[in-house]
Amino acid sequence: MSKKEIGVSSAVINRLPRYYRYLRELYRADILRISSSELSKMMNITASQIRHDFNCFGGFGQQGYGYNVKYLYNQISEILGVQDNFSAVIIGAGNLCRAISAGSIFTHRGVKLLSIFDNSQEKIGLTIAGVEVRPVDELKTFCKQNQVDIAVLTVPKSAAKETAEKILGTGIKGVWNYTNMELDLSVHGIAVQNIHLGDTLMTLCYTMKEQLEKGTV
């Protein structure tokens, strides 16, 4: 991987997972090579956008020859840390935990789900997505015994701060935060992705409203 990537804008970074998904499909369909114009058509973005994004990482293709799908897929996987085999635990064994852990979200991205933690006696001891639900009290010990990189927070907003504090000192380096309470743990050297599912519902409503006003619907 080229070291040209230093200082890549967050807009470019945020677009990489979408490239990853498309390249994964192409790779699995045994497509060997794709031009930027084909990729552009498939992904509904301009070819110049694609070239710009890939150039941030030193390119990946040869002019007029297209991209080698396997190579590109591997490069983007590496950039995104898919090959780093990060491990994760989920804190909060509710419906969102079940929804997130049931599919292939973790495995498709090289992340291994090690355990789930909850406070409820009804949930402790259950097996969800092949892993055991353990009491939150055991989080620190578990993290010491198993190297845990990521905590997924699916507890209610009211328990967000308290749960975030339990993560400090466990060696966890990243938080995928679904609590709807924005967390900033940068002073502790912990990266956070704050997820607000409702935000995209609002963007959808905005688009619908705009289309209705323009009379395009």
The answer to whether residue 187 forms part of the interface with a copy of itself (CB under 8 A) is no
The answer to whether residue 203 forms part of the interface with a copy of itself (CB under 8 A) is yes
Main-chain phi, psi angles of 139, to 5 degrees: -55, -50
The answer to whether residue 92 forms part of the interface with a copy of itself (CB under 8 A) is no
What mask of x and - would describe binding to a copy of itself in positions 47 to 86, judged by CB under 8 A? --------------------------------xxxx-x-x
Considering only CA atoms, which of 98, 117, 111 is closest in space to residue 163?
117
The answer to whether residue 21 forms part of the interface with a copy of itself (CB under 8 A) is yes
| Cβ burial, residue 50 (10 Å; 0-12/13-18/19+) | buried
The answer to whether residue 143 forms part of the interface with a copy of itself (CB under 8 A) is no
Least separation, in Å, of the C-beta of 122 and a copy of itself?
16
Cα gap 193→186, rounded to integer Å = 11
- β-bridge pairing 87-91 and 112-118: parallel
Longest dimension (CA), the chain: 62
The answer to whether residue 28 forms part of the interface with a copy of itself (CB under 8 A) is no
Sheet holding 131-135, edge to edge: 127-128, 131-135, 112-118, 87-91, 150-153, 174-177, 191-194
The answer to whether residue 196 forms part of the interface with a copy of itself (CB under 8 A) is yes
Residue with tokens 């892993």, as numbered in its chain? 131
Select the residue interacting with a copy of itself from 13, 47, 131, 159 (CB under 8 A): 13
Contact predicate 147/125, CB 8 Å: no
Site for a copy of itself in 157-186 (CB under 8 A): 173-176, 180, 184
Site for a copy of itself in 102-131 (CB under 8 A): 102-103, 105-106, 108-111
Toward a copy of itself, which CB reaches closer, 144 or 157? 157
DSSP letter for each residue of 150-185: EEEE-S-GGGHHHHHHHHTTTT--EEEE-SSS----
Toward a copy of itself, which CB reaches closer, 161 or 209? 209
Q: Give the interface with a copy of itself as residue ranges (CB under 8 A).
A: 11, 13-14, 16-18, 20-21, 44, 79-82, 84, 86, 94-96, 98-100, 102-103, 105-106, 108-111, 149-150, 173-176, 180, 184, 189-193, 195-209, 211-212, 216-217
